[in-house]
Amino acid sequence: MLQAASFRGGDKAPVQILTAKQQIELGSISTEIAFNRGVRIYEAGSPADFVFIVKEGVVKAFQDLPTGGERVLTFLFAGDVCGLAQDGRYVNSVKALTPTICFKIPIGALTGMFLRDSELELQFLIKMAHELREAQRQQIILTRQQAHARVAMFLRMLQLRDGKESPRIELAMSRRDIARYLGLSDEAVSRAAARLNREGVVAFPGRHVAQILDRSRFEQLALAA
């Protein structure tokens, strides 16, 4: 239900951090709720009465911009938590990018469980530390000057989350969402993808899949500065 990467051993895929008993207890206070693709799970500024854990699917956390666009802050996958709040209201908006199922947990019930089970509270803190590391990874990506290096780092981040080291990387998000996450224009992302393909590093046989062609060069590009 709740996954995070280990603090040891470098970049590893997220693993289950709750005991079977804790999963059962969380299940007893949660409700499974399904969201269609494109549906907002909650809006920034609305009352933060619930925490959500993604069970299936991919969602994005973002902020609406005054210009009418969006700033994508992070992508969330199975085992991730969303519901960051300040003064009792959600800080960001969250939208389903694919058909998604979430565990919806009332804040009051979760707080009560923390009071009874300090180990569970610790596991949620570990999860929050994991999310902080992911946010820091995004900031590292944004320091890269060349767009094709940013795209490579983003693809490597998705590969690490999957944990399979497969040359095939599924992209649940659109290129526009990737651009908004990387701080690039849509055109810059398209040009970066074309360059990676032209140089024989990564091919894009479809809009939602990337195929690593040259692992050595790919990893050199994706190496954080």
* Confidence (pTM): 0.82
Give start-end residues of each CATH 1.10.10.10 domain in the chain: 144-222
Look at the block and give the residue holding tokens 């800080």: 91
- Please give the residue that has the higher pLDDT: either 36 or 66: 36
Average pLDDT, the chain: 85
Give start-end residues of each CATH 2.60.120.10 domain in the chain: 3-135
Q: Is the pLDDT of residue 135 over 70?
A: no
21 Cβ contact list (under 8 Å, min separation 6):
none
What CATH architecture is 3-135? Answer: Sandwich (2.60)
**Average pLDDT score over residue span 96-105:** 95
- Residue 100 Cα distances to 38, 47, 59, 162, 172, angstroms: 10, 22, 8, 17, 12
Most confident of 128-142, 160-174, 189-203: 189-203
Q: Is the pLDDT of residue 95 over 70?
A: yes
Decide: residue 159, CB within 10 A, 0-12 exposed, 13-18 middle, 19+ buried.
buried
Q: Is the pLDDT of residue 71 over 60?
A: yes
97 close to 37: Cβ distance less than 8 angstroms: yes
pLDDT band at 157, cuts 50/70/90? Answer: confident
Q: Which residue type occupies 197?
A: N
Closest listed residue to residue 34, CA positions, set 96, 78, 83: 96
Task: Choose which CATH entry (1.10.10.10, 3.40.640.10, 1.10.260.40, 1.10.287.130) describes domain 144-222.
Answer: 1.10.10.10
Instruction: Identify the weakest region by mean pLDDT among 6-15, 60-69, 172-181, 200-209.
Output: 6-15
Q: Is the pLDDT of residue 125 over 80?
A: no
- Please give the residue that has the higher pLDDT: either 3 or 47: 47
Q: Is the pLDDT of residue 7 over 50?
A: no
Q: Is the pLDDT of residue 225 over 90?
A: no
